[in-house]
Amino acid sequence: MNVAVIGAGSWGTALAQVLGGNGNDVRLWARKPEVVEGVNASHRNVRYLSDVVLDERIRATLSYEDALAGAQAGVIVTPSSLMREVAQKLDGLVAPDFPLIICSKGVEEESGLLPVEVFEAELGNPGRLAVLSGPNHAEEVIRGIPSGTVVASPTEATAMFFRDLFASETFRTYISDDVCGVELCAAFKNVIAIAVGLSYGIGYGDNTAAMLMTRGLAEMSRLVVRAGGQAITCMGLAGTGDLIATCTSEHSRNRRFGKLLAEGGTLDDFTAQTHMVAEGALACRTIATLSAQYQVELPITDVVRSIVWEGADPRDVVGDLTGRPLTTEFYGL
């Protein structure tokens, strides 16, 4: 099958490798000319995961038209801040029934829309749309280290189409109809990972990290349920699974960003050092739109936002969490 992958960062590159290894011809759209040249000349992405030799079925291009020419499916792997721009560029290039799977994680700040909702607004026909999320560090997926993920779509046929497209012996795919829950979990876990990174950077230990992860899961489930998702989704690969991986792994860019913040660094410092986007930095701000819309209390998210965007000292705002009134462990569902 011919597949277009839009986005040549670490995750886009890893998914292209999965698809190529499954026997598909992949056209990888990249923003940077040096990435296109490296992939086509030496089968390496010179900016991301550059030590991995890519499958020969992967070819890169700077052109949306070239990437989509003859494609039978599209995979969207761009930063969440670019979702609407990408959807608008695809309008007119793909047929109304062209299957698209969105692997970007976040919430559109101005509207509070999830990625799949942005693509539906721009391109219509939600039945051909799907999302993919799970505990999938690109550094491991691209090397064939066993991983699992969730493919969610409102249409079972679409979910199964992408399940089978990505499935391999080392990349297990499970289907779900809870698109809202899967996408909110994907955005939310990055915020909690920043909080865990901050706690380690301050000098706290594993007890604190475990508390933040568990209470973060409670925040996640409150928002998912209020927004129309299923609480059980938060206990699966897209929720608890991704939360564990993102909060505990040294591969996690959001965890690393949190530690950098605790050491006095900034978002600009992180971007300059890694050439990567810490999606949780934007998510802690965009999720506030949903918090207000659904009137859901998200104290950890509020503290992370105050540190990232308002310049609060991490050590000064610890009391905002530890001084909160004591209550039952789970509430608000």
Q: Which two tokens stand for residue 1?
A: 């099958």
CA angle (25, 29, 32) in 5-degree steps: 135
CA angle (296, 302, 307) in 5-degree steps: 170
Closest Cα to residue 13, out of 63, 47, 37? 47
Strands (DSSP E) contained in 96-170 are 100-102, 129-133, 147-152
Q: Which two tokens stand for residue 142?
A: 């691209």
Helices and strands per DSSP (H, E), number in the chain: 15, 8
| 189 labelled catalytic | yes
Q: Which two tokens stand for residue 105?
A: 């994680």
How many angstroms separate the CA atoms of 64 and 78, rounded? Answer: 13
Among 89, 105, 189, 259, the one annotated catalytic? 189
Q: Which two tokens stand for residue 96?
A: 């109304």
Q: What is the CA radius of gyration of the chain?
A: 19
Strands (DSSP E) contained in 111-191 are 129-133, 147-152, 171-176
Q: Which residues are catalytic?
A: 189
